[in-house]
Amino acid sequence: MSGTSHTRNPFTQVEIPAVGVTVEHLTKNFGSLKVLKDVSFAVQPGEIFVLMGPSGSGKSVLLKHIVGLELPTSGRVTVDGHDAASEVTRERVHMALVFQSGALFNSLSVYDNLALYPREHRLADEAGIRQKVMHALKILSLEGTAKKFPADLSGGMKKRVAIARALVMEPQLMLYDEPTSELDPVMSATISEIIASLREEYRVTTIVVSHDRDLALNIADRVGILMDGKLIFLGPPSELKQPKDPIVADFLAPKFDLKHPRFKQLET
């Protein structure tokens, strides 16, 4: 972690205080299904917090609470001290979520995907928007893709375009939902490097939801592990190298047992 609590705007270089996130006793039910059970943790301004857990453990649902797309059944999520679900918070704090699928607008070119936010919020004239978009594409080494459409891009490029689109929003808080899923190991490492570089250069508070062990061990300041909706680990990645908890150890380095395969022990 850089140790400073100011986020630097990638376009204007102006520094503003970095934001923190607090999750307090968060519980979320979908009907009778309990997805999150009394989850509490805090993300410090400027740190990279990686939230890990197996598929279906509630990681993405938790991320949606932070960005205000879901409302808690009970408990509270605050961003920079304000209720995450409030529209005022979204106006006050620049948050950008990089979706697992990228969620690029398929009917728009890469350039227009990036230009949408500044255009809709009238942040600059067309020349200023062009400068900003091209700068964001350059940061992510995507200059040649401006005229392409999302359907013409590879999986790795889509993720990078999604990160560039998030960057154009001049975020104080960057959230990534499974940024390395469906990517080959080299591209996964590239995306991890991008996330770490953006934090180093601009000191953006970063929350990454992933089950990529390498990403967590290499770039996280702290890691949380969510299992069946409960937070079972919270600490620095160094503690994950030799975890004491057997459940955490099994999640991070599952042993193969072909005589007693796991899938035969799963509940239906």
Partner 1 sequence: MKQITAILEGFGSTLQLLIRSIGYAGTLPRQWGRFIEQCYMIGYTTLPIVAILSFFIGSVLALQAGYSMQNFGTQQFIGSLVGLSMARELGPVMVAILVAGRVGSAIAAELASMKVYQEVDALVTMNIPPARMLVMPRLAASLVMVPVLALIGDLVGWFGGALVSKYTAIISIEPEAYFAVLRHYTHFKDVLNGLVKAEIFGFVVVLVCCNIGLNTRGGPREIGASVTRAVVVSLILILVLDYFVTQILT
- Give me the residues that bind partner 1 (CB under 8 A), please: 64, 67-69, 87, 90-91, 95-97, 99, 101, 103-106, 116-117, 120-121, 169
Give the containing element (helix H, strand E) for 205. strand 205-209
The amino acid at residue 111 is Y
CB 137 within 8 Å of CB 172: no
**Which of 103, 217 has the CB closer to partner 1?**
103
CB 119 within 8 Å of CB 127: no
* Smallest distance from partner 1 to CB 171, Å: 10
* Smallest distance from partner 1 to CB 85, Å: 12
Give the containing element (helix H, strand E) for 79. strand 74-79
**Which of 98, 142 has the CB closer to partner 1?**
98
**Which of 96, 252 has the CB closer to partner 1?**
96
**Which of 23, 67 has the CB closer to partner 1?**
67
Residues in the chain: 268
* Smallest distance from partner 1 to CB 175, Å: 8
- The DSSP output letter for 46 is T
Q: How far apart are CA 139 and CA 136, in angstroms?
A: 5
* Smallest distance from partner 1 to CB 75, Å: 21
* Smallest distance from partner 1 to CB 102, Å: 9
* Smallest distance from partner 1 to CB 115, Å: 12
- Structure-token pair, residue 191: 């995306």
* Smallest distance from partner 1 to CB 107, Å: 8
Helices (H), 46-184: 59-66, 87-92, 110-120, 126-139, 155-168
- Structure-token pair, residue 72: 């808690």
Tally Cβ neighbours within 10 Å of residue 220: 24
**Which of 205, 237 has the CB closer to partner 1?**
205
**Which of 87, 267 has the CB closer to partner 1?**
87
* 90-to-78, 118, 169, 171, 209 alpha-carbon distances in Å: 11, 15, 12, 11, 20
Give the containing element (helix H, strand E) for 246. helix 246-252
**Which of 28, 222 has the CB closer to partner 1?**
28
